Copies of this chain bind each other. A is one copy, B any other.
Amino acid sequence: MVVKSQIKFIKSLQQKKYRNQYGMFIAEGVKTVQELLNSRIEPHKIFSTIPDLPLAEGRLVETISETDLKKISSLKNPNKVLGIFKIPQPYKVDQDDWILALDDVRDPGNLGTVIRLCDWFGIQHLVCSKNTVDCFNPKVLQATMGSITRVNIVYTDLVEFLTKTGLPVYGTFMDGDGIYSTELPKKGILVMGNESNGISNKIENLVDSRVSIPQPAFRTGRYSSQATESLNVATATAIFLNEIRRP
């Protein structure tokens, strides 16, 4: 049975303030919880409507009813399992490969998609400005599809980080040099900006190379004399990481 104080505690973890205060976060759904149980991230408590949840043996699992799960879940349609996990300490960021940096990305779906892209493309370190949406936000976690266990995510002062690095810094701008004709080094930092404002002025000052995805010359269709101004930050990240990693 789930008691009132537990409900209050679990619900509070939907807010960043309480996640930081308790050093814990919640994850929902069989697949996500199992990926977390199978990682270095430490479980605090698991509530499951499945009596023998694989990987969870002896790990503070409590079997609860569907009704009780509804009381603690943040989902409209709760998915069998809710886990409370300890926020892991990030690793030190090595500078021996490409690193992705985010300058105030605010949309949880975008951050989740970007984390999944880092996992796919083997980008081990994702460095986020302090105003980037929290990666332990339930909506981010849901969008990462478990990739959060395989990417080292660090929140830091991005100005300080970029000032200290010895790596070349690539910033993405509408008027940057075309990425298809840019020779990319073996390692560097790729900075993606905020959804509305792009890269901020203080970060722009620290960028060594301005890059962009060129608009195909034939892209203005017959149905309009205009065309879209920009790509969503997650799809633009997909294209830049593809260019960095393609043979």
Contact = CB atoms under 8 A, between A and B. Distances in A.
Contacts of A231: 116-117, 120, 238
Interface in A41-86: none
Tell me whether chain A's interface is mostly helix, strand or loop, or mixed: loop
Contact of A235 (B117, B219, B226): B117
Given A223-B151, A227-B150, A216 B180 contact: no
Contact of A232 (B116, B124, B239): B116
A147 interface: yes
A119 B150 contact: no
Interface string A190-229: 0000000000000000000000010110111111101110
A165 interface: no
A227 B120 contact: yes
A122 interface: yes
A227 B145 CA distance: 11
Interface residues of A, number: 46
Contacts of A124: 221-223
A225 to B, nearest CB: 10
A109 interface: yes
A4 interface: no
Nearest to A88: B223
Contacts of A245: 216
Contacts of A224: 39, 149-150
A220 B239 CA distance: 20
Contacts of A216: 121-122, 245
A122 B239 contact: no
A120 B38 CA distance: 40
A132 interface: no
A101 interface: no
A55 B124 CA distance: 48
A242 interface: yes
A146 interface: yes
Contacts of A27: none
5 contacts: A113-B234, A117-B231, A119-B227, A145-B228, A151-B221
Given A122-B220, A149-B223, A152-B223, 12 more contacts: A116-B235, A117-B231, A119-B219, A122-B219, A145-B228, A150-B227, A150-B228, A234-B234, A235-B238, A236-B238, A238-B239, A242-B243
